[in-house]
Amino acid sequence: MYLITVEGGDGSGKGLATKMIAEILEKEFTFAGVDVTAEPRRNAELGIMAVEAVRTGDAGPTREAVYFAADRMDHSHTWIRPRLGQGRVVVSERNVHSSLVYQGVVGDLGIEEVARMNAAAMIPDLCIWVDCDPGAALRRIKHDTLRLTLDKTEYFETDEYQVRIRQGYHDLLGGVVPMPTPFDLGRVVGPIVNDGTKDDLRKKLQFEVRRFLHERPPPINVSSEEVERHMLGRALTSQRGQTTLNVVESRPARSNLDWLDSRKPWEIMRDSTQIYISAIQASDTPSRLDAPLDPLSHPVLAIVGTLSLLPSVEIHELRAWLGPVRMVTERHTRRMVKIFHEQSGWVRVYRSLVGSDASRSELRSDWQAFGRIGIALWPLKETLSEWRRTHAGSSWKHGLSAALSSNPSAADSCIARLAILGSGKADVSPPSTREELLVWWQNGAV
């Protein structure tokens, strides 16, 4: 979903930073996977050509830039882009900003020209700039601590070039020189000065990664909807062949096909939201302070919606299926599951084996329909929430029509989600137009 790049001069600690960032992402966040890469690629023909171009500098900045751009284009569209669309995060040691500095600034080719050559490549969502003293960097290079697997020193691994490269990064990533289009769409943080211990560096990186991801910025290279549809399809594919979900205590059985249970979507939304609000307001336990009062809030719909797709799961499994769009922190996931279990009764928590440390959570059958409706209407959750707040006396029957009037572009996304989830009735096709979506909302059929 996101392309995160690590930039900086040679010997600045980019490789170590890249590894640390990948570990932070794996441990704390719910991407479908974390992939680490680097540019230029040393296992691809185009990347090898780029590496050869910088052995002596004889190729000149134009040819160097062409080789790097060709490798980056292939890398972007055959390797990085497919992974982003699957909800994975890619961490790249070096990317387009290296070319902008090395060939555009140091090589005197010009930043705009290098940007033009790379304009069709993936745009880093987040560029993390690692910096250190050029003298320390050169000592690392010469002592092979971060040496590339080459037999001879590259032409820019000299004191003079290291100073120019560092200045180039300060000018471009520090905002002295305007970032060229389209790479001005991404975010740059730094310099993160690598002058202390490894723990110091990790804490600095962790702070920046957390700050970026907790803001939930829209991805630049793929749409959140593309990612969500992939994740929903994966969740339902994992239940392939099952018309009902294998849960321990569910009467009637939860179904992958008849999840509306002969009810109308608007009535389910009306009843479920009221029950949730009443349960939270009636509770006097401290944990309610962590529970959103809004049943259409991100944490509520994310957790209940995800559980509606799955049989019983442990917390780490639940978080894996949340994916990057429905992401909730581990601490908040545990608290919300506890609240649903203790205060609203929507979730049953149990241990599958005597003496087992890990508890499993399952959504009770009465709440499956609300969870799946919440997933289907996720693109409208803020709009529906605002409508409910300002039209407290109005019938939920008119809620979807009002929300679509305010946010008409969301209709296609909701329709695409229902194409994956189904209409909720085994013998009814999901809606395919805005008009059919409204009919489905009011009647449960098209």
DSSP of 70-106 = HHHHHHIIIIIHHHHHTT-EEEEES-HHHHIIIIIII
| 230 and 201 inside one domain | no
| 129 and 259 inside one domain | no
Listed ranges 2-6, 131-135, 188-192, 392-396; the one with the highest mean pLDDT: 2-6
- C-alpha to C-alpha distances, 93 to 34, 257, 358, nearest whole angstrom: 14, 45, 37
| 189 and 336 inside one domain | no
Distance CA 88, CA 34 (A): 6
The type of residue at 107 is G
pTM for the full predicted model: 0.88
Tell me: the pLDDT tens digits for 241-257? 667 676 665 566 788 88
Q: Which of 109-113, 218-222, 254-258, 264-268 has the lowest mean pLDDT?
A: 254-258
Question: Could you list the residue range(s) of the whole structural domain that residue 196 is in?
Answer: 2-214
| 373 and 426 inside one domain | yes
* Token pair in block for residue 357: 């440390």
| 317 and 364 inside one domain | yes
| 291 and 376 inside one domain | yes
Instruction: Tell me which of 214, 246, 264 is where a domain ends.
Output: 214
In a domain, 219, yes or no: no
| 6 and 134 inside one domain | yes
What percentage of the chain reaches a pLDDT higher than 70?
A: 87
The total number of structural domains that make up the chain: 2
How many other C-beta atoms are found inside a 10 Å radius of the C-beta of residue 417?
20
pLDDT for res 54? 76
| 246 and 127 inside one domain | no
Q: Which of 46-50, 226-230, 284-288 has the lowest mean pLDDT?
A: 284-288
What is the domain-level CATH number for residue 57?
3.40.50.300
| 179 and 255 inside one domain | no
